[in-house]
Structure 1
Amino acid sequence: MDWAQRWLLAFLASVAATVYWLLAARARSAAKSRRQSQVAQDHRPDHSVPERTEDQTRKRLTIVYPEQTRDAADDAEVDSIVAVHGLGLDADWSWICKDGEKHINWLRDPDMLPAQVPKARIIVYRYESTWHVDAPKTRLQLCGEELVHSLHAFRAGRPSRPLVFVGHSLGGNVIVQAFLYANDDSKYESLVKTTVGLVFLGTPFRGSKWQPLADALAQLMGPACSHRGITRELGFDEPALRDRVHRFCKLRNKLSTAVACFSELHETDYGRRLGIAGVVKGMVVDEKSACIPGLDRYALDKDHLKINKYYGPTDPAFERVSEVISEMCRRANDVVRRRFERREIITGNHAALKYNPKAEACLHDLFVTDALEDKKALKRKKGDRAAGTCEWILGTDDLTAWLGPSHNQNSEIHTTQVLWLHGNPGTGKSTLAIFLTDALSTGFSATDGNTLAYFFCDSAFDTRRTATSVVRGLLLQLIQQHPSLLSYVLPKYNERKAKLFESFDTLWTIFVSAAADRNTGRKYCIIDALDECDDESQRTLLRQLQKTFYSSNAPPNIRILVTSRPCPEIRKYLEIFTHKDLASFSYVKRDINQCIKERVTQLKYTDKIKGRLTEIIKDKAEGTFLWVGIACSELENTPSRDATSCLEAMPSGLHALYETLFSAALEKEREKGTIRLVLGFVAVSQRPLNLLELSEACRLRRNEDDTETHAQFMR
């Protein structure tokens, strides 16, 4: 913002403040007259007690539909559609469209929202959002907390009924804050689990470029008892707002909660209210702030003040908004039931065989490896994930966009359908992939529109390092969860039998057709450690990914996430899609620190030594979890007096550490022959050897006659 814009902003703020101040003074004068009149009435001889006004008896939550009867509440399929108004507005008038003498409230009018969701209770929430005159000393967090407290009390006795929220402008921010607050307190956990839909109408998730004007007004109107508690939190793209959006997306993606963001298409003319039409005019909440990448978004032919007001059932904006709300309500009970049941994703053939008993041979031949068992084995190999780590990925823009619908027009390329997460060895790629498969499995189990399949590549196993194995593994999981997809496989299988699954091109065609099936919803596929596949398989898969998804004809309901090292041959194909180096995420450093904390805590040293070791490891790990693991393993058998010097002698970075450990091993005369033998086989083998193969090739046996020891050693 240049000096001219700042000057104009200050001038407009002073003008607006003056007008508001005069209006406030007049309102105060009128209020004083009413109080004096009331005092006179109170001192009449009959000492009658005046009736309490409607304002004094209002509650935070008011049912506007249906009639407030117990039977109506019990019949409601959706416990509440809760509407939350915006900044400086009133719950009674926020949702009303004035058409001449007519006042149309789309939340209450029997021909509008009640007609679309007749089995729902529609409620308005009122909170103190005034900021310019007689403003309460509040802030966004307090508004969100109060919404949670009010709903918790309001829903007593019906905690498992579904909820849908509708927020206009700041009301959406209040809903987000409430959502996060409820999630942090187990007392209010049911509010989060029963929230099945969130509708945001012009919500400034990333703030507003008009915030400086509102904040300046609040400061200038101090004499009128204004307050900046809310306005100062809405600066455009403020770090605090970005963090809140990240936390919200992390929770939303974990639960797969339906979210719809509506943005305004027209500028808002605030000057008209002050008699200076066209002077104070602009986009209050632009699309960038009103919409979160990856979540459903819609544009309405409205300005900011009218985006939540509709003239009747035929208003195009109402038709779109009510359609979204109706769909959320239609799925509400099923979503809540699934969340509380916590069902696991199907990984066996029983459902498919029940659907078609004749498919047994086909499923048998399609099977190549058990993805669930592979994941469990990888977990055992890598150990438990440090508490709280990896969870940040759920809140990133990149993953949210990958999880969400494609907003590209048909003529454009869909670059978010493939997400490539890459990193150097030991940076936590597979651990992150494991976390995602676990987290998304839980979230998807509560929906009927998302399906997850995954494959963990491993160069040590023939069944996990080829292109055909990857596609067979993914296809089998899709069929296990949706037996109807057998229709894409069985006709061809009946013709070619097991040979069908030897052709990558045929397999890929079947896989894409099955995954694109619209009747079974969107499919999400995670391929971990693609660089573990053989070179030809890598090229084959990458060429098909590029050909299929870097196209205007890409099937819109398929998503592929790939993790690998940043190999040039992989980058060549995947850099055209959304891609991120794990090291570029600031959250990775926090994960590293948490991992160090847990590993060092397990060492048997004094707190003083542990503190020093922690500092050294943080300095030398260079963002590599594997370095932390190797270093701590070396320390497990190191006396406390040598711990610090041992760690200080280790070089920084993974490659240098490998060289040091290798050199140290060669210094042991008794081991030189064995090491040379192992290196010889590693150097000439056409593919990486697993431990069993290597030990057998080198005849590394502790006791030729002890079969138990031999078997244990080879494991």
Structure 2
Amino acid sequence: MKHVQRFKARVLGRTELPHAELTPKNSSPRLDESSSIDSKPDEAGLMNFPVDIVAIHGLNGNAVSTWRHQPDGTVWLRDLLPDFLPGCRVYTYGYPSKIWSQSSERIQEYALNLLVALRDVREDLNASKRSIIFVCHSLGGIVFKQALVAAHENDDLYGELLKSIRGVVFLATPHRGSGTANLASICGSIVNSFASAGLGPRAVRTDLLKTLIYDSDALQDLTMSARNRLGNIHVVSFYETLPLSMGPLSSSLVVSPASAVLGIPYEEVIPMPEDHRTICRFPRETESYLKVARALRRIATKSSNIGPTLKRTSTHSSNIVLSTLERTCMSLLSDNDVAKDVEPPPKPVPGTCQWIRSHSLFVSWLEAGTNALLWLTGHPGCGKTMLSYSLAQYFDDARNKSRNVLIYLCQNKNKQTDARAVLIGLILQIADRHRSLVRYIRSAFEKEGSSIIQSFASLWRIFVRIAKDPKSGPLYVIVDALDECERTSCHQLLVSISDMLTDSSQSMKSDSRVKFLITSRPFLHQSYANSQKVLQSRISIDDDQTGYTEDLQTFIQERIHEISLNRQFSNDIRDFLYEAIMSKADRTFLWIHLVLASIEKSILTSRKEFQKIIASIPEGLAEIYHRYLSAIPLDHQEDASKLLKLLLACSRPLSLVELNIAFTMESSYTTTEEIMQNSHNSIAHTVQGILGALVRVTGQQVSLVHQTVKDYLQDRDSASIDSPPAIRMVDPQGSALQLATVCIQYLLLDDFTVDLFPTNDPSTVAEETDFFGELPLGGFEGDFWDQEDHDLDSGALFHDPDILNSKMCDSMALDYPFYTYASLHWAEHFAICEEDAPEELKDFARSLLDPDTENCRNWLSFYHTKASTPLDDGITDQNPIILASQFNSITALNSLLLDSKPSQIIKNQSLYWASRLGHDRIVTALLQSGAEPDVQQLDGQTALTVAAEHGNKSCIIALLADSLTNANAPGRNGRTALSFACRGGYDEIVKELLKQKACNPDEPDNTGATPFIWAVGGGHHSTISNLARLRNVNINHQDKTGRTAVSWASGDGMADTVIRLLKLPCIDINAKDNKGRSPLSWAAGNGCTDVVEILLANPRIDKMSMDNDKRNAISWASTQGHCQVLVKLLEAGCPGVDAEDIDGWTPLAWAIQTDSPETVHALVSNENVLIERRDRGGRTALSWAVEYGHIEVVKVLLRAGADTMTQTGSGRTPVMIAKDFGRDDMVKELEAYGP
């Protein structure tokens, strides 16, 4: 594989750096210490910068040309920076980022190589204490962030390196990707900005391009992971302000300011009057260069501490005696405190809820010297309340027991919380701790009386006056589950907090600031963040937070450990409970907590009972879901029902765009344009506003908050007469009908009545494949970044129909966002509800199964290209009956069978597909119409054998019920249905087949393998036991190679299966195959140590067994260098350690040829091995080892006493052989042991 600009870093020196190239094109990943030059310190000693500057180039660049200004060749890192920062050392890092590179390395590998090489060169130079500053252009910044994350995740390897990182300068790094919206635009903007004329048709690095798509998942994930780490270093971000002056996109910025700026605390943002190409190239000390150089200097001179520290304050007056009036005021508030009896959540498991403490946004909020707010969002049941209480305890502990932490839980099962209640609770808490502050309550009471508790404004004034009082000290106010608060008063509270944070007239002294921490579902934050800037700071708890996932795992492990200790569960049950609960947890603490409580309460403790508990809705959760449903507004019950049906029926989580279309779709719409014109402008807001806590919106996907919501909605008992109207209208059948109707109507829109896949028309090829039309094509030479000629070749890239279809599908998916889901899933939804569907919908479905229509051909072509299990290459030419059978439409099939007279071939092919895909009702209908079950179809399979191969039990039963079905009819390679069922471990199908009197359980296939051998090959122990009990099954049957089930299992290293086989009576443990090899021989030759140990422990094993070539197990183990197996054989006393085979080769000779020093050592350590034995040609082991050039083997033989002077038949010694081959190293070793 050719690597253009393979990674290599060098310290740049003004006098010793080659002017043209820094690194050879195919240099290996290393640092060249010989060329490392430090810049000289300031002779006056007044200013010295002992820092390492590491420069990382971007997409399609290299270690030097990215930083070189043309035409004068100035490399500012080499020619300018060392004088500006005396004492610094400058490294450049190169990696294969060429757009036409054939490298398969990913950004992760680039980052890892950077860490390894930088660590190694600093260790070599004993410079591990020098600070490091990175300079990153474009994609180089992404590589740096990936390296930073990887270093933190591998602190034991790169901890010292991390401690040295002082800061980073980003030069137009696309943290959110390119500002253009698709892959072609990425090429046009980023690649063409540095393109050269005439690129040849090479493989495009689409993986790198896709990484740079705006808001790509990869970039979002990396940014989220890196934010915390970047908060610990100094960050300077430069962004371009000039568009490129070349190419068709000369009016646009390659990287927009929004993408080039991280938006993290303490980030320094600097605009640069440069374009994407010139932002990293400077001819001299220009103003732009000086901005970068000064930024590096600022970082070099700053300390490593980021942000201010938080002072501690303690001002308590809780022992002050209150007056009668003050006690009246406190009683008034206390009587109206609806949260006073709320039970706190269980204490967090030790070690959990700590990840947030190091989150950069949390640290910034905590250490801010002013009033501040941080919003923690998470979906229902994700553990927000537990995290709130954990942080409250942390604040108390961290603030030296200052007791200035206020927490209010808005959740109330019996009554919706009002924001006035929130303020009452907060005021009571602070007044109880600082009794002198009760005077503010008394003052308001004296003016307004008891009405203060009914006035939000009055309560807010009291709270603000208390918060401003220096005696209150810093306040940490935690309001949990604010989305549960009544909407109007919640709005009042948030607006008031916003005013406090923004209004300078409400500013407080540094020792009496207020820090608000709010938790809620994402919906509430989204409603305010765009319009209220001070409310924007947010941490999403359960979306891709590594610490959150680890908390889930720790919580489950600790609770299972606790329950297991009390109940004395075995380790197997512990592991089962952990795996089962983790697989269904879906990031939901609430479900985990309730299901573990149910397990703890359960009197029955069998595995089956635990499976039942985990599969069902935990106690208490149904009540919560009922409450969520009851909260749906009455005027949106019908909308809620429609949304729930769509979410309940969907085969995978829908994107917001897909749900928007499905929710908007009406039968009167005939074009996609009509749908989009009437779609909702903020579907996330609409869905969350209607369904509330029942849904989770993650990124661009929407789903029910947990699988148990679906279970609850499908439970008909939950849809009783007292249920909310929204749930009474929801059922699985109706949900499938709702989504099937939307899908079918969408596929039949006028947009799709023309053939969108004209792959047979050559004239359209160029038009449909002009995906990279603006990429430079033709011959390519030189550095892609630095070519100034940008002539473009608009020739087509692809001509293969499959590639054309794939491109068309991608284009359709972008232009018609619901087409992917509709084409891939409409049939499965319709199959569920078709018998109850209206006749009009049935007619529509039949038209989608008619290949004579464009609508049908379009979705079939799309399905063929994009389905995870496409059917066959000729799908667009299929008969409607075959399509109805493939897509399980029984009503369409019955109609077609009545209206037409299909040929026998069509019926037989349809039966094959229905059997393969598991459509039992289609199978029955086709059999009744005269389809023949034993006719071989695709790949030589019959309907019965293909149904068995795919585990379709219901189809097997339907087929066996037909008198024409032969249970022994051969399929592919002569295998029967029983053979396929045994290989797949389908025990229920095996039982159904064995019920047939005509079924032969020992029928061999074309290779001689029986169903028993296939069951052993699959490792299906229950199937093996069932077959072994049958009298007419020969468990020692040999296939055409002579191998038995034991032989195959031994050779494949199936230790557990071998143990079970050896327990069978009459099993032949020593059966030899046609070549005379035994199971022990196969296990030894394949290095199956566990199996060898099992066989040797059996008293019936023949340790002396030899094959037709007189080779034993020791010989075979030595051949492949399986040292562990050899040791087991020798310890068990197997004979023949020095025996010759039919060619005169001993095990030692085989081990030497394999170049296995460990195996050779094990053999020569055995006293029965004659190290000086001569073979039939008169040569010793040492002679051969020297000729093979295996120096490590030679060393082992010499240490074992091999004679260096022994001559071959032709009189040549090992030394002479080594000299003949020019192996001076071997000569040296041999002479050291010679006379």
Same topology, TM > 0.5: yes
Whether the 8 Å CA contact 1:542–1:570 is kept in 2: the answer is no
Going from structure 1 to structure 2, the CA distance change for 1:365 and 1:239 (only over 3 Å counts) comes to same
Tell whether 2:195 aligns with 1:190: no
Mapping for residues 309-328 of structure 1, pairs under 5 Å: 309-310=281-282, 313=285, 315=287, 317-328=288-299
Aligned to 2:348: 383
Residues of 2 paired with 1:101 and 1:567: CA distance?
A: 54
Residues of 2 paired with 1:311 and 1:553: CA distance?
A: 50
CA positional deviation for 1:578:
3.1
Counterpart of 2:280 in 1: which secondary structure?
Answer: coil
Match of 1:303 among 275, 278, 282: 275
Tell whether 2:423 aligns with 1:429: no
Match of 2:59 among 87, 98, 104: 87
Aligned to 2:218: 240
Aligned to 1:181: 150
One-letter code aligned to 2:478? I
One-letter code aligned to 2:596? C
Aligned to 1:250: 228
Aligned to 1:172: 141
Mapping for residues 56-95 of structure 1, pairs under 5 Å: 59=31, 66-67=39-40, 78-95=50-67
Residues of 2 paired with 1:139 and 1:63: CA distance?
A: 28
Counterpart of 1:155 in 2: which secondary structure?
Answer: helix
- Higher RCO, Cα 8 Å, sep 6+: 1
Going from structure 1 to structure 2, the CA distance change for 1:221 and 1:470 (only over 3 Å counts) comes to farther
Match of 2:245 among 269, 273, 280: 269
Mapping for residues 305-454 of structure 1, pairs under 5 Å: 305-310=277-282, 313=285, 315=287, 317-332=288-303, 363-365=315-317, 382-384=347-349, 391=355, 418-421=373-376, 427-433=382-388
CA positional deviation for 1:85:
2.2
One-letter code aligned to 2:499? K
Whether the 8 Å CA contact 2:365–2:372 is kept in 1: the answer is yes
Q: Which has the higher strand share?
A: 1
CA positional deviation for 1:616:
7.8
Going from structure 1 to structure 2, the CA distance change for 1:158 and 1:306 (only over 3 Å counts) comes to same
Mapping for residues 643-658 of structure 1, pairs under 5 Å: 643=610, 651=618, 653-654=620-621, 656=623
Aligned to 1:466: 426
CA positional deviation for 1:382:
0.8
CA positional deviation for 1:265:
1.1
CA positional deviation for 1:188:
0.8
Going from structure 1 to structure 2, the CA distance change for 1:610 and 1:104 (only over 3 Å counts) comes to closer
Residues of 1 paired with 2:345 and 2:171: CA distance?
A: 47
Aligned to 1:356: none
Deviation string, structure 1 residues 311-340 (Cα, Å, up to 9, x no partner)? 55561x3444344333322223557xx9xx
Match of 2:106 among 127, 139, 152: 139
Counterpart of 1:88 in 2: which secondary structure?
Answer: coil
Tell whether 2:478 aligns with 1:527: yes
CA positional deviation for 1:224:
6.5
Residues of 2 paired with 1:187 and 1:241: CA distance?
A: 25
Aligned to 1:105: 76
Counterpart of 1:418 in 2: which secondary structure?
Answer: strand
Deviation string, structure 1 residues 189-208 (Cα, Å, up to 9, x no partner)? 12223212121111122332
Counterpart of 1:81 in 2: which secondary structure?
Answer: strand
Deviation string, structure 1 residues 31-65 (Cα, Å, up to 9, x no partner)? xxxxxxxxxxxxxxxxxxxxx99756994687675
Going from structure 1 to structure 2, the CA distance change for 1:631 and 1:132 (only over 3 Å counts) comes to closer
Counterpart of 2:596 in 1: which secondary structure?
Answer: helix
Whether the 8 Å CA contact 1:457–1:529 is kept in 2: the answer is yes
Aligned to 1:123: 90
Show structure 1 runs of 5+ residues with no match: 1-23, 25-51, 272-277, 350-362, 369-377, 407-413, 445-451, 477-495, 516-523, 660-715
Going from structure 1 to structure 2, the CA distance change for 1:226 and 1:640 (only over 3 Å counts) comes to closer
Tell whether 2:161 aligns with 1:161: no
Tell whether 2:568 aligns with 1:603: no
CA positional deviation for 1:290:
1.6
One-letter code aligned to 1:127? G
Counterpart of 1:159 in 2: which secondary structure?
Answer: coil
Higher alpha-carbon Rg: 2
One-letter code aligned to 2:66? S
Whether the 8 Å CA contact 1:204–1:290 is kept in 2: the answer is yes
Whether the 8 Å CA contact 1:140–1:177 is kept in 2: the answer is yes
Counterpart of 2:238 in 1: which secondary structure?
Answer: strand
CA positional deviation for 1:304:
0.5
Residues of 2 paired with 1:122 and 1:512: CA distance?
A: 53
Residues of 2 paired with 1:613 and 1:424: CA distance?
A: 24
Whether the 8 Å CA contact 1:543–1:573 is kept in 2: the answer is no
Aligned to 1:640: 605
One-letter code aligned to 1:625? F
Residues of 1 paired with 2:424 and 2:44: CA distance?
A: 57
Q: How many percent identity over aligned positions?
A: 20
Aligned to 2:849: none
Match of 2:175 among 190, 205, 214: 205
Deviation string, structure 1 residues 386-443 (Cα, Å, up to 9, x no partner)? 66x77489779x879979999xxxxxxx9x9533335688642244346778999999
Counterpart of 2:220 in 1: which secondary structure?
Answer: helix
Residues of 2 paired with 1:430 and 1:264: CA distance?
A: 43
One-letter code aligned to 2:427? A
Going from structure 1 to structure 2, the CA distance change for 1:160 and 1:55 (only over 3 Å counts) comes to closer
Tell whether 2:430 aligns with 1:457: no
Whether the 8 Å CA contact 1:250–1:391 is kept in 2: the answer is no
Going from structure 1 to structure 2, the CA distance change for 1:54 and 1:463 (only over 3 Å counts) comes to closer
Whether the 8 Å CA contact 2:594–2:618 is kept in 1: the answer is no
Deviation string, structure 1 residues 93-139 (Cα, Å, up to 9, x no partner)? 433445x8584726642xx6753x44x51413131345156765543
Normalised by the length of structure 2, the TM-score is 0.34
Match of 2:259 among 260, 272, 289: 289
CA positional deviation for 1:221:
4.6
One-letter code aligned to 2:186? Q
Residues of 1 paired with 2:93 and 2:524: CA distance?
A: 58
Aligned to 1:148: 115
Residues of 2 paired with 1:182 and 1:458: CA distance?
A: 39
Going from structure 1 to structure 2, the CA distance change for 1:252 and 1:53 (only over 3 Å counts) comes to closer
One-letter code aligned to 1:331? K
Aligned to 1:689: none
CA positional deviation for 1:142:
2.1
Whether the 8 Å CA contact 1:609–1:644 is kept in 2: the answer is no
Tell whether 2:500 aligns with 1:548: yes
One-letter code aligned to 1:600? I
The size of the alignment, in residue pairs, is 519
Residues of 2 paired with 1:569 and 1:128: CA distance?
A: 45
Whether the 8 Å CA contact 2:175–2:261 is kept in 1: the answer is yes
Counterpart of 1:166 in 2: which secondary structure?
Answer: strand
Residues of 2 paired with 1:468 and 1:500: CA distance?
A: 12
Going from structure 1 to structure 2, the CA distance change for 1:653 and 1:401 (only over 3 Å counts) comes to farther
Going from structure 1 to structure 2, the CA distance change for 1:294 and 1:182 (only over 3 Å counts) comes to closer
Counterpart of 1:163 in 2: which secondary structure?
Answer: strand
Counterpart of 2:302 in 1: which secondary structure?
Answer: helix
Whether the 8 Å CA contact 2:238–2:271 is kept in 1: the answer is yes
One-letter code aligned to 2:235? V
Whether the 8 Å CA contact 2:77–2:90 is kept in 1: the answer is no
Residues of 2 paired with 1:166 and 1:247: CA distance?
A: 20
Residues of 1 paired with 2:579 and 2:390: CA distance?
A: 27
Deviation string, structure 1 residues 537-596 (Cα, Å, up to 9, x no partner)? 999976752322255889799894423467999999999533879687465688556644
CA positional deviation for 1:366:
9.3
